[in-house]
Chain A
């Protein structure tokens, strides 16, 4: 099955700096890669996603890049703010109805004011 690895497990940045979280996957059939933000005790919220036919996607301060050849994708947050502090999870899926999503182990991001 699919194996998703995520690094780093913890990340601290100064407010205004950029944060980068990286994930790798093992199954070349995976074609959908979402990123979720989870605040303590709350549900994971989808913040951005990318499909395998696209190399990069951006939404304001958040961007995701995908390298299909190397089987890795990254989340980039620019101009970080304290409210960006949370745990971020990457995931991979081969898509289609009922197919599983495989999650990374999470990155705890702390933005220091």
Chain B
């Protein structure tokens, strides 16, 4: 299947700092990438839809100024958690939609963010 790479896999930061997470589609071009947040033992909560070359579409309740999304190329989307606070600690995971004849969704490996 298609490969989606996400980095870093784990990050610990101080409160007030910003953290950037990268999501790359390695062997295909992804016009659209999705960013999710997942709490322990819970489902994937869609945060935003990232479209290459345009502004991201945020879900209701997600602060766009806090979670900055950039999708500058067909293979890279980034999520920056600005001025992180302990309540932002979570597992963040991206996915990319692969249109290789049939549309399928593949996930990055996730980033565990811990804000001290």
Contact = CB atoms under 8 A, between A and B. Distances in A.
Interface string B1-23: 10010100000000000000000
Q: Classify chain B's interface size.
A: 20 to 34
A50 B103 CA distance: 11
A43 B109 CA distance: 5
20 contacts: A32-B103, A41-B91, A42-B110, A43-B4, A43-B107, A43-B108, A43-B109, A46-B106, A87-B41, A89-B44, A93-B103, A95-B103, A97-B97, A97-B99, A99-B103, A100-B34, A100-B49, A105-B43, A106-B41, A106-B43
| Shortest 6 CB-CB contacts between residues of A and residues of B | A98-B32, A43-B107, A105-B43, A43-B109, A106-B43, A44-B107
Contacts of A99: 97, 103
Interface of B: 1, 4, 6, 31-32, 34, 41-44, 46, 49, 51, 91, 93, 95, 97, 99, 102-110, 112
Given A43-B93, A103-B43, A106-B42, A98 B105 contact: no
Interface string A32-62: 1010100001111110010100000000000
Contacts of B106: 46
A113 interface: no
Nearest to B46: A100
Interface size class of A (residues with CB under 8 A): 20 to 34
A65 interface: no
Contacts of B105: 34, 46, 91, 93, 101
B43 A89 contact: yes
B110 to A, nearest CB: 6
Interface of A: 32, 34, 36, 41-46, 49, 51, 87, 89, 91, 93, 95-101, 103-106, 108
Contacts of B108: 43
Contacts of B6: 43
Given A42-B110, A98-B51, A105-B42, A34 B34 contact: no
